[in-house]
Structure formats: C-alpha cells, structure tokens
Amino acid sequence: MKKNTCYLLLAGCLLGACRKDFLDQNAVSSNKIPATVADGWLLLNNETDMDKAPVLQIASGDDYYFTGDYWNMLPPLQQRTYIWQSNLLEGEENVYDWSMPYRQVMVCNVVLATLARLPEQAADTSWRNAKATALFKRAFAFFNLAQLFAPPFHPQLANTLPGIPLLLLGDVNEPVVRATQYETYQQILSDLQEAARVCVQSVPDSIRNHANKAAIDALLSRVYLNMHDYAAAGNYADSCLQLWDKLIDYNTVNSKADILFPVRNDENLYNARVPNSQFQSLMPLIGAAYIDTLLLQQYSRQDLRKTIFFTSAERPRRRNFYDGMQATLYAGLAVDEVYLNYAESLARNGNRDAAMEWLNRLLKKRYSTGQLPVLTAVDAGEALTWVLTERRKELVMRGLRWLDLRRLNQEGDSITVTRYLNGTLHALLPRSNLYTLPIPDDALAGTQMVQNSR
C-alpha cells in the first residue's frame, strides 16, 4: 500500500456524507479533524462506509452456484472468484474487500484520536459509547480482513504466520507492515475487550449500527470460534445470551412479504450488509446465484426456513434477510449465530445434553408449530454433527460458511468444495493455499509486505 495513496483513499471516505471541513484530500492535519464527540458520531454513523461487509467471503463459499451461461456474462473478478482462480485479482485496483475495511479503520482511528483529546468527557455516556463503537467497528474490520487476506488461524503457528497490517494511528507516516497472525488476533481481542469495558449500552436499541455489550460478546464469540478456542467462544456466547436472548418465531413471519424482516428485529444485534453495488450476481432480486441443490435437500417440508430463506422458483435463490433491505446480503451479528456458537462450544466440551437443548430451542422457532422432531444425540460427537448440520442450514450466504470451511479443514476435516462449470470440474481442496486471498497489487506497492502464496 503506497502510504499517500492509502491514506488519501482512507481519508476520502470522510468527505461527502460528513462535514467536509474535518479532512481534506491531502493530509490528516491537526486543525482539520473532528473536534467534538458529536463530530465523532457523525463519522461513525456514516452508513455509506461504516456498516459494509466484505463480499468475497460469500462469493468464495459453497452456498450457491451459477449456470454456465450466466457465469459467461459476469465481470472477470466474479468469474475468477467463483472458480477459486489462483491469479484472483489480476491487477485489480481499489479492491472493495481490502479498501472498504481500511477506510472503516481510518474513520475509527480518527474518532479515537478525537475522543482522546477530550479526557474531561470520558465519564459521559456519549463519549464512552462512541469509543466503544469505534473500537468495535475497527475490530470488525480487522477480523473481516483477516478472514480473507491472512491464512486460517493456527494456534501453534500464529507467531510465525502472517496477519494483516494493523493501522492504528490515523497517521500518514505510519509504516504499513503485516503483523503476525498472533498480533492480528490479539489486536482484535484487545479492541473488543476495551470496547466492552467502556461501553454503557448493554443491548441493541432502535439504532442497530452502534456497539452494545451483547453485540461485542457476539463478535468475541465469533472470533474465539475461529481461533479454535471453543471454551472462550462458549463463554462469550453465554454472556451475550444472558443480555439478549431473543429469537424470532418463524411461524409469525409472512413468507410472502417483499421485506421479511425489519432492520430492528429481535435477532439483529449489529447490522452490516454487503451493498448491492458489489457482486450483483449474488444479490437477492437482481442476481442469479442459485442455492446449492444438496443444501436445499436438507430442509424438510416442516422447516420454515426453506420458504423464508429462499425463493420458490425452480432454482431457488437467497431472499433478503435481517437488514431490512430487498437487494442486499446481510452480514451482521445475530442471535441465531450466537445460539449455534454456544451449542457447538458445549458439544466440543463434552456437554451433549446442553448442546442439544440449545439447538432444539433454536429449531423450535424455525419449524411449523408442533412439527419439530426433537433432535437427540447418543454422545457429544453426534451432538456436534447435529450442530454443524444446522449451522450449515441456518447461516446461508452470510459469509460465515467461508469461515467455517477454513476452520473446520484446519482441524482435520476433509471438506472438498467443487463447482462444475462449462464441462470442467473446479475443486477447492482442504487446507489449500487458495483459502487465503492475494493482497491487491496496489496495496503492496511501495511496502515491504510479502504477497500471499497461492
């Protein structure tokens, strides 16, 4: 990443929707940055940049397929992503999945610096929640970057494997270097733990893009799950559910509605979405990403998710979800994921009965009233199998399948993902280097960063 280009790009996101006198396009200077807590909130609430999630996590997963005729018409990056091509980016510049999270990081850094200059307000609720939100959003951005541009987390090799650049200062002179994987995840955890310490807001309110303690715990649970620390993942899932244990009964959802869920629904802890300007081929309404046939076959007729999640066409597609939009993909933090994190943690730690209890509590809200066949398991291993099966069915096209493929194969599962396209079989092998995406060339230029091996 060229330093000046990097920070011009990152600082540019502060213009337009926010007060233009905060920053110009040439520098981050002390007399042009936001000066009040209210200024910081303006930046954090800029939905144009701050509540967006990566698309490549969804595009790289195996929840969907394209027909050959449709794939032939797609832009080159979408074509290459679909078949896990080794030269994925091929000189693409300003790659959304790299540049957008770093724009979010820059905003958070500017807000944190502003708040640090207002120590006399540190006891105020607005100051504390602003700091928590900035730390939370920075951690969310770093975590998303690590799932694409760093190898899957390896507990024994984390000190030697590369992570991502950790830009923390909002300073144009800050060196751009890759931290280790261990340093990357420690920064994410540190941000979230500090956010939890200062955050006053415990649960979601009418605004679903602010930090709250339940959402912070949910993200900590997701992070620890992907670090293979299932005890910690379960502890944070439990903490989240003690604060906010609300599930939507799908029997009450009108499956024929254009928008199935308002953004302020009971399960949405933190709202983030992939905008429909990115990979339109995947989006509800405007795309033609058909749901994997074998996945569809796992839903019984009594399972309401089949009609709520997917269209009723001969080749079903994903419908809109918890973000209250018709043509975007939800990629936030929701209670159903936390249930599944908790159940998986319990199963992996040998607590068969509790794992199945939490899984059945979730499924009771997903099946037609009185039609749920209560699941049982003979041991913790079978409980884990049930949990992973339902995780696959519950979290479709939310970016989490890519994370699961990375971590499960890292643990020894042998999940080979295939696509049959235009007479050719493409395969993504377990533990392949293709699970780590290349860093964009324009981000590498002028730095000492080493490209990921593909």
What's the pLDDT tens digit per position in 417-452? 999 999 999 999 999 999 999 999 999 998 989 999
Predicted pLDDT at 243:
98
pLDDT in tens, 128-154: 999 999 999 999 999 999 999 999 999
Q: Which residue has the higher pLDDT, 172 or 24?
A: 172
pLDDT band at residue 48 under the 50/70/90 scheme: confident
pLDDT band at residue 22 under the 50/70/90 scheme: very low
As a whole number, mean pLDDT of residues 161-176 equals 87
Predicted pLDDT at 172:
66
As a whole number, mean pLDDT of residues 217-236 equals 98
Predicted pLDDT at 149:
98
Predicted pLDDT at 2:
43
As a whole number, mean pLDDT of residues 394-405 equals 98
pLDDT band at residue 169 under the 50/70/90 scheme: confident
Predicted pLDDT at 40:
96
278 closest CA partner among 77, 6, 62, 18: 77
Predicted pLDDT at 32:
58
pLDDT band at residue 258 under the 50/70/90 scheme: very high
Predicted pLDDT at 47:
86
**Ramachandran angles phi, psi of 65, nearest 5°:** -145, 160
Instruction: Return the percentage of the chain with pLDDT > 70, whole number.
Output: 92
As a whole number, mean pLDDT of residues 70-79 equals 97
The CATH fold assigned to 3-444 is 1.25.40
4-13, 81-90, 432-441: segment of lowest average pLDDT: 4-13
Is the predicted pLDDT of residue 263 greater than 80, yes or no? yes
Going from N- to C-terminal start, the domains of the chain cover 3-444
Work out the mean pLDDT of the chain and round it to a whole number.
92
Predicted pLDDT at 27:
31
Q: Are 360 and 247 in contact (CB under 8 A)?
A: no
As a whole number, mean pLDDT of residues 220-239 equals 98
22-26, 186-190, 246-250, 339-343: segment of lowest average pLDDT: 22-26
Is the predicted pLDDT of residue 157 greater than 80, yes or no? yes
17-26, 221-230, 329-338: segment of lowest average pLDDT: 17-26
Is the predicted pLDDT of residue 259 greater than 60, yes or no? yes
pLDDT in tens, 281-324: 999 999 999 999 999 999 999 999 999 999 998 999 999 999 99
Asked whether the CA dihedral 451, 150, 170, 210 is positive or negative, the reply is positive
Please list the residues that pair with 52 across neighbouring strands: 273
Predicted pLDDT at 39:
96
pLDDT band at residue 7 under the 50/70/90 scheme: very low
